Amino acid sequence: MARYLGGKLGGGLVSLFMVAVLGFFLFRVMPGDPVRTMTHGAPVTAQQIAVLRERLGLDQPLWKQFLDFLGNLLRGDLGTSYTYSRPVGELILNRIGPTVLLVGTATAIAVLLGLWMGSRAAWRHGEAFDKTSTSIALTLWSVPTFWLGLIVLMAFGVGVGPIPGLFPVGGISSPDTPPELLPQVLDVAHHLVLPTLTMVAVIYAEYLMVMRSSLLEEMGEDYLTTARAKGLREDLVRRRHAVPNALLPTVTLIFLRLGLVVAGAITVETVFSWPGLGLLTYEALRVPDLPLLQGIFIVLAGSVVVMNVLADLVYRVLDPRVRES
Amino acid sequence: MSRRFAVLWAVLLVGLLAPMPATAQGDGARQDGATLRIGLQQQIDSLNPFLGYTVPSSDIFRSIYPTLTTYSPDDFSVMPELAESWEPSPDRLTWTFRIRPGVKWSDGQPVTAHDAAYTFKRMMTDPAASTANGNVVENFEAVTAPDDSTLVIRTKTPQATMLAIDAPIVPEHVWSKVADVATFANDQMPVVGSGPFTLTGYRAEQDVTLTANPEFWRGAPKVAGLRFIQFKNSDAAVQALRKGDVDVVQKLTPAQFDALAGQPGIQQVRGQGRRFFELSLNPGAANSENQPIGTGHPALKDVRVRQAIDQGIDRKVLVGRVLGGYGQEGGGYLPPIFSDYQWTPPQPRTFDPAAANRKLDEAGYARGADGIRRTPQGEPLNFNLVLHGSRSEDTQVGEFVKRWLADLGIGVELQPVSDNQLNDRTTSADYDMVISGWAANPDPDYVLRLQTCASRPGPNGGGNPDTFLCDQQYDDLYHRQLGEFDQAKRVDLVKQAQARFYDQAAGLILWYQNSLEAYRADRYSGFSLQPKTDGVIVAQQGYWGYYGAQPTDKALNGSGTDYTSVAWVLGGVVMLVGVVVALVVVRRRATADTRE
């Protein structure tokens, strides 16, 4: 067990280091002079440009920048953002909460919905429920998120015809909310509805399809016939025997998705002006704000690595076969 | 499994929500009366007036900090602001400003000449403090405040732009305690200022709240405050206006603007823009040492070819088809919004493909067998046109230009690239034709300087070039206008410089796009547009638009979100889900029972 754990963690650490190296050089080969992009259109003197370049460390040779970067990274310092003149770590920390809230809520709902519908669809494979639920899910999955978000925004945010808009069209909270906890929580929940709805609509199909196909694979297995032969009711056969086995591939998927999903939130956050990591990425890309992009890249890639290791470990807990091998 | 997941999530959710009220700055956010809400689509980079340089940041600084002078809402002429009057010395090197008495900072301290002197000195001595407005003090030699009401600025060379000093002035008693300007966020509310509004709330990427300053020397604003609300998507901003969540939106696309026509309670504002949209032709770029750089096509060094290209472009079609009519055809360098300096070509090179073809024939660029013209050296006239891949108007212009130039026997290869690549390629002159554009200021000096020889990059890069034009005659005119203190004569020189620029045809000004805005006329009226005719509300040179806004009864009596109804709606949804779950469970039990 210790060896397994050590191997997995060691592999994770190596991956994290590679992420750091890649993160540094990737953003150095990107074309464009950030100082010039930053100041384009603003009256600046040559001296101002030189000062900016020096302050951003762009006047140093590449190897020196890299050593500085590695040293700072080990101390947990991700550098200073060009555009906000603030530490990157602080910026990311401030934005990660709203993103985790949005992505987490949406993923939780999508997982529950997807697993439930997927297992139902597989169990009644070929029936009307299967056909309609899969086709609706696949349609929503293939719809552009941006477009779907705008439709949701117009229908439920602005209102259609005589029906008034029920939800806010953007942001995470209203500035004029009473400072007490309950109105604040209600306010955030109120703002959370439309972006979550959009995100769930787009992503639940994936869980549905994986659950459906993996349950379909299990359905012909002998152990289910045994279970039925024991006289178990159909419902219990599905819930106690078939679904737990079919869950395994889905667990991996959930963990991998959790690592990646922040990136997937970019469009939703943009449509609903949700002040999260996705929006920060979008803004950083437009400048481009190298330290900020680099910091986001390291955090995102790092979370994928961590989630991978976690998925491996959870898989081991869930599936005895992995433990033995 | 799923139940455990749900519980875990609920715990996490509560944990995440708990710190929310702390990060949201409640201080001063709740206000009675009418708060004017403005939808922003560009980010606020910093609240520190020495660092923030984006348009919305400057807009906020203009509303909260005093400036020496300001620009009239009517016609952009210079007006007294904190400085009541001024006097240049006979040698035009020393300027004495008389500071308005009785102006107070929002913490009660008086605003004096010492504050202004402190601000400019800090910009001159602290590199970080010169980030945003360093160009203002570039030519300053010394700044002193002999007494509370006198500010004396000595410049290195005579400078006609001395009255365009609208950099924010900060309180010395606050900022002298700031050790490092580069890392100072200036977000301790309320921020001490002395403009018509005081900064009282900021939530990054969300909103900025300003409260009306009742002590403002010009008189308190009529609105209770301003709130700038961030939108990352202009469609969402438009929807928020329709719903009444914001009162003013800006930067609308022609389609969005048209869609708002005739909407109840909404008034459109079609303002003149301050940008020009330009097609630059590489006139044979060189760096400041006169060494040729870049990959420009040799034929473009020929002014006749450049003029012929200009004649082959139909600006009327571009404005009509690409801008949907929301713009004016380009001519002179400066946009017509700055009417004092604006110049229109007396003999414009109007669209005339036949004449353009004749001109190219006469200049010796004969057509080859493939229909493409050749230089006298036998090189085909195949040009690349570099454009912003992310901007649809660039792509559309590219397609039109390609077709028109094909008629002249010139091949055009469109090269859409990212904004950064485009900046890279223009700095290194790696283009034949490129789409460019700048926003002009009320004082034309800055954009005029872009076309001087001095703006070309040095041997190690740097510089801020636009067309790489380096023309002695233009440079002479530029320098003469900078040292000309007689306004009428300066205007004349600025126009002559534009005429020379037009003759050289290195930068073809295609259009000046309108600035499209809309506001809730049922809630507000009385916005002072700048300029008075066809002006804009948002991002003015000054605070006039917001300062003049007058709330209607509806805005005064309107209420915010009703949280009882929010609770009811959300409660209802939760109930509904609960009922459905209960039904499913009951039904499952029932079928299970019958099966057993």
pLDDT tens per residue, range A19-61: 888 888 877 776 666 676 666 656 666 677 777 777 777 777 8
Query: Is residue B1 scored above 90 in pLDDT?
Result: no
Indicate left, alpha or beta for B251 from its phi (over 0: left) and psi (-120 to 50: alpha).
left
Least confident of A211-215, A288-292, B221-225, B481-485: A288-292
Model pLDDT, residue B332: 92
Whether residues A83 and B43 touch (CB distance < 8 A) is answered with yes
> Is B201 within 8 Å of B35 (Cβ atoms)?
no
Q: Least CB-CB distance to B135: which of A44, A234, A275?
A: A44
Q: Is the ipTM of this complex over 0.85?
A: no
pLDDT tens, B253-270? 999 999 999 888 999 999
Chain A, nearest residue to B454 by Cα:
A46
Task: Provide the shortest C-alpha distance from residue B196 to chain A (in Å).
Answer: 21
CA B143 to chain centre: 29
Contact between A97 and B561 using a beta-carbon 8 Å cutoff: no
The distance of B236 to chain A (nearest Cα, Å) reads 7
Q: Do B13 and A179 touch (CB under 8 A)?
A: no
Residue B290, Cβ density class (10 Å: 0-12 exposed, 13-18 middle, ≥19 buried) = exposed
Partner residue opposite B24 with nearest CB, options A36, A173, A279: A173
**DSSP labels, B155-184:** ESS--GGGG---PPP--HHHHTT-S-GGG-
Q: Which residue, among A282, A107, A101, A98, has the nearest Cα to A202 in the 3D structure?
A: A107
Lowest mean pLDDT among B81-90, B94-103, B422-431: B422-431
Query: Is A57 near chain B, with CB under 8 Å?
Result: no
Give the C-alpha separation, B211 to B224, whole Å: 6
Give B500's pLDDT tier (boundaries 50, 70, 90).
very high
Give Rg (Cα) of chain B. 29
Cβ-Cβ contacts under 8 Å, B229 against chain A: 170-171
Spatial separation of the C-alpha atoms in residues B295 and B360, rounded to whole Å:
22
Q: Tell me whether residues A235 and B182 touch, CB distance under 8 A.
A: no
Q: Give CA–CA dist B341/B333, Å, rounded.
A: 10
Interface test with A, best of B563, B569, B593 (most A CBs within 10 A): B563
- Name the minimum distance, in Å, from the CA of B41 to any CA of chain A: 10
Contact A115 B203 (CB under 8 A): no
Residue B19 has pLDDT above 80, yes or no: no
User: Does the pLDDT of residue B504 top 70, yes or no?
Assistant: yes
Paired sense of beta strands B83-88 and B94-99, if any: antiparallel
Look at residue B29 and tell me whether its pLDDT is greater than 80: no
State whether A183 and B563 contact (CB < 8 Å). yes
Radius of gyration over every alpha carbon of chain A, rounded to an integer in angstroms: 24
Distance between CA atoms of residues B265 and B521, nearest Å = 5
Please report where in the chains the tokens 């102006």 appear, as a residue.
B103
**pLDDT for the residue B591:** 59
Q: Is the pLDDT of residue A264 over 80?
A: no
Question: Are the Cβ atoms of A31 and B420 closer than 8 angstroms?
Answer: yes
pLDDT above 70: percentage of residues in chain B: 90
User: Taking CB atoms and an 8 Å cutoff, what residues of chain B touch A97?
Assistant: 16, 19-20
Disruptive mutation site among A30, A38, A51 for chain B (greatest number of B CBs within 10 Å)? A51
Phi-psi region of A159 (alpha: psi -120 to 50; beta: other; left: phi over 0): left
Residues in chain B within 8 Å Cβ distance of A31: 418, 420-421, 424
Edge-to-edge order in the sheet of strand B507-513: B327-329, B507-513, B275-281, B433-439, B382-388, B411-417
Separation of alpha carbons A174 and B562, rounded Å: 11
Residue B200 clears pLDDT 50, i.e. is over it: yes
Name chain A contacts of B240, Cβ cutoff 8 Å.
Answer: 169-170
Disruptive mutation site among A146, A169, A228, A254 for chain B (greatest number of B CBs within 10 Å): A169
When mean pLDDT is compared over A108-112, A303-307, B382-386, B574-578, the highest value belongs to B382-386
Q: pLDDT value at position B26?
A: 38
pLDDT of B412 > 70? The answer is yes
- Cα B265 to Cα B518: distance, rounded to the nearest angstrom: 10
Å between A30 CA and nearest CA of chain B: 9
Question: What's the pLDDT at B307?
Answer: 94
- End-to-end, the C-alpha distance of chain A in Å comes to 11
- Residue B590's closest chain A neighbor by CA? A235
Q: Which residue has the higher pLDDT, A57 or B402?
A: B402
- Closest approach of A81 to chain B, Cα-based (Å): 10
Residue A25: name the closest of A305, A299, A306, A297 by CA.
Answer: A297
Q: Which residue of B has its CA nearest to A172?
A: B206
Asked if residue B460 has pLDDT above 80, the reply is: no
Residue A216 contacts B, CB cutoff 8 Å: no
Partner-chain contact B203 A168, CB within 8 Å: no
**Mean pLDDT, rounded, of chain B:** 87
Integer Cα distance of B285 and B552 in angstroms = 57
pLDDT band at B216 (very low <50, low <70, confident <90, very high): very high
Are A56 and A262 spatial neighbours (Cβ–Cβ below 8 Å)? no
Whole-angstrom Cα distance, residue A46 to residue B457?
A: 10
Q: Is the CB of A41 inside 8 Å of chain B's CB atoms?
A: yes
Residues A156-212 have pLDDT tens digits of 888 777 777 788 888 888 877 777 788 888 888 889 999 999 999 988 998 899 889
Q: Which chain A residue lies closest to B181 (C-alpha atoms)?
A: A85
What is the biggest distance separating any 2 CA atoms in chain B, rounded to whole angstroms?
Answer: 109
Count of all residues that appear for chain A in the document: 325
CB contact under 8 A, A108 and B421: no
Choose, out of B180, B243, B246, B422, the residue to mutate when testing the contact with A (most A CBs < 10 Å): B243
